[in-house]
A and B are shown apart, each in its own frame.
Chain A
Amino acid sequence: MKTTDSIDASILELVGNLKHEHRAVFDAQFNLLYSNRTYREYLRKLGFDSINNLSLLDIYNSEAKEHASLWLDGFKTLNPLKPSYAFSAFDKVREENYRIDAEVQALFKANQVLAYALGFDELTDTYLENRFNRLKSDFLAKALMVKDTNELMWVMTDEILAKLYLGDALILERQGNVLAPIAAYGSQRKGRREVAEGLKVSFSQGITGYVATTAMPYMTGDSRKDPHYIQEHFAAGSEVAVPIIVRGKVFGVINCESEQFNFFRPIHQELLQRTAEVLSARIEEMNSRQELELLEQRHLAIINSTPNSFLLFDPSYRIMSFNTAATKSWRYFTGLNIEVGTDYKKVVPKELLGKFENLARQSLQGGKAEEYLSWEHEDNHYRLKVNFAPALDREGKIFGFTLLVEDVSELYHANQTLRAKNLDLEQGNRELDKFVYSISHDLRAPLSSMMGLVNLIENAQQLPETKIYAKMLQDAAESMDSYIRNILEYSRNKRFEIDLEEVDLEELFRDLEQKFKFIPGYRELNFETDLSLKRIHSDPYRMEIILNNLISNAIKYRDIAKSKSWCKVSISEREEQYEIKVADNGIGIPKAKQANLFDMFFKVQSDHPGSGLGLYILKEVVNNLGGEIEVQSKEKKGSTFSILLPKNPPNA
Chain B
Amino acid sequence: MPKVVLLVDDNPIDLMINEKTLQRYDDSVVIFKANSGEQALEMLKSGACNPTCLLLDIKMPTMNGFEFLDALAQTEVEVKFGIHMLSSSIDPSDLQQAEEREVVRSYIEKPLSAAKLEKIKL
Contact A606-B36, Cβ < 8 Å, known A449-B11, A453-B17, A472-B13: yes
Q: Cβ of B79 < 8 Å from any Cβ of A?
A: no
Contact partner of B59 among A445, A452, A455, A456, CB < 8 A? A445
A476 and B88 CA atoms in complex are apart in Å by: 13
Q: Is the CB of B13 within 8 A of A476?
A: yes
Of the stretches B43-51, B70-78, B105-113, the one at the interface is: B105-113
A475 partner residues in chain B, CB cutoff 8 A: 13
Q: Is the CB of B20 within 8 A of A456?
A: yes
A472 partner residues in chain B, CB cutoff 8 A: 13, 16
Nearest opposing residue in chain B for A460, CB measure? B20
Count, chain B residues at interface, CB 8 A = 28
Q: Is the CB of B91 within 8 A of A440?
A: yes
Nearest opposing residue in chain A for B10, CB measure? A606
B90 partner residues in chain A, CB cutoff 8 A: 440, 444
Residues 33-57 of B, flagged 1 when their CB comes within 8 A of A and 0 if not, give: 0011000000000000000000000
A603 partner residues in chain B, CB cutoff 8 A: 61
- Most chain-B CB neighbours within 10 Å: which of A445, A447, A448, A603? A448
Contact A441-B17, Cβ < 8 Å, known A452-B110, A452-B112: no
A472 and B12 CA atoms in complex are apart in Å by: 10
Q: Is the CB of B20 within 8 A of A449?
A: no
A447 and B13 CA atoms in complex are apart in Å by: 12
Q: Is the CB of B89 within 8 A of A452?
A: no
Q: Is the CB of B14 within 8 A of A607?
A: no
Q: Cβ of A451 < 8 Å from any Cβ of B?
A: yes
Which parts of A424-459 form the interface with B (CB within 8 Å)?
437, 440-442, 444-445, 447-449, 451-453, 455-456, 459
Nearest opposing residue in chain B for A604, CB measure? B61
B36 partner residues in chain A, CB cutoff 8 A: 606
Nearest opposing residue in chain A for B93, CB measure? A437
**Count of A-B contacts with CB under 8 A?**
70
Interface size band for A: 20 to 34
A445 and B62 CA atoms in complex are apart in Å by: 17
Q: Is the CB of A452 within 8 A of B10?
A: no
Nearest opposing residue in chain A for B58, CB measure? A441
A293 and B60 CA atoms in complex are apart in Å by: 85
Q: Is the CB of A606 within 8 A of B17?
A: no
Residues 449-489 of A, flagged 1 when their CB comes within 8 A of B and 0 if not, give: 10111011001000000000000100110000000000000
Contact A444-B89, Cβ < 8 Å, known A453-B17, A606-B36: yes
**SS class of chain A's interface: helix, strand, loop or mixed?**
helix
Q: Is the CB of A606 within 8 A of B62?
A: yes
Residues 77-119 of B, flagged 1 when their CB comes within 8 A of A and 0 if not, give: 0000000000111110100000000000000011111000000
Nearest opposing residue in chain B for A436, CB measure? B91
Contact A455-B91, Cβ < 8 Å, known A441-B59, A475-B13, A607-B11: no
A440 and B89 CA atoms in complex are apart in Å by: 6
**Cβ distance B15 to chain A, nearest Cβ, rounded Å:** 9
Q: Is the CB of A437 within 8 A of B17?
A: no
A606 and B93 CA atoms in complex are apart in Å by: 23
Contact partner of A449 among B17, B24, B87, CB < 8 A? B17
Q: Is the CB of A452 within 8 A of B17?
A: yes
A451 and B36 CA atoms in complex are apart in Å by: 22
Q: Is the CB of A447 within 8 A of B88?
A: yes
Contact A607-B35, Cβ < 8 Å, known A437-B91, A452-B17, A456-B20: yes
B110 partner residues in chain A, CB cutoff 8 A: 445, 448-449, 451-452
A472 and B17 CA atoms in complex are apart in Å by: 10
B112 partner residues in chain A, CB cutoff 8 A: 452
Q: Is the CB of A448 within 8 A of B10?
A: no
Contact A455-B10, Cβ < 8 Å, known A448-B88, A472-B16: no
B13 partner residues in chain A, CB cutoff 8 A: 449, 452-453, 472, 475-476
**Cβ distance A142 to chain B, nearest Cβ, rounded Å:** 97
A451 partner residues in chain B, CB cutoff 8 A: 110-111
Q: Is the CB of A607 within 8 A of B10?
A: yes
A447 partner residues in chain B, CB cutoff 8 A: 88
A437 and B110 CA atoms in complex are apart in Å by: 16
A451 and B90 CA atoms in complex are apart in Å by: 15
Contact A441-B21, Cβ < 8 Å, known A449-B13, A607-B11, A607-B35: no
A440 and B93 CA atoms in complex are apart in Å by: 11
Nearest opposing residue in chain B for A454, CB measure? B111
Q: Is the CB of A607 within 8 A of B12?
A: yes
A442 partner residues in chain B, CB cutoff 8 A: 59
A517 and B93 CA atoms in complex are apart in Å by: 42
Contact partner of A452 among B21, B60, B62, B91, CB < 8 A? B21
A448 and B61 CA atoms in complex are apart in Å by: 18
Nearest opposing residue in chain B for A449, CB measure? B13
Nearest opposing residue in chain A for B12, CB measure? A607
Nearest opposing residue in chain A for B57, CB measure? A445
A452 partner residues in chain B, CB cutoff 8 A: 13-14, 17-18, 21, 110-112
Q: Is the CB of B91 within 8 A of A441?
A: yes
Q: Is the CB of B88 within 8 A of A445?
A: yes
Between A and B, 5 residue pairs with Cβ closer than 8 Å are: A437-B93, A445-B110, A448-B88, A452-B111, A607-B35
Binding site for A on B (CB under 8 A): 10-14, 16-18, 20-21, 24, 35-36, 59-62, 87-91, 93, 109-113
Closest 4 CB pairs of A and B: A452-B111, A448-B110, A452-B17, A448-B88
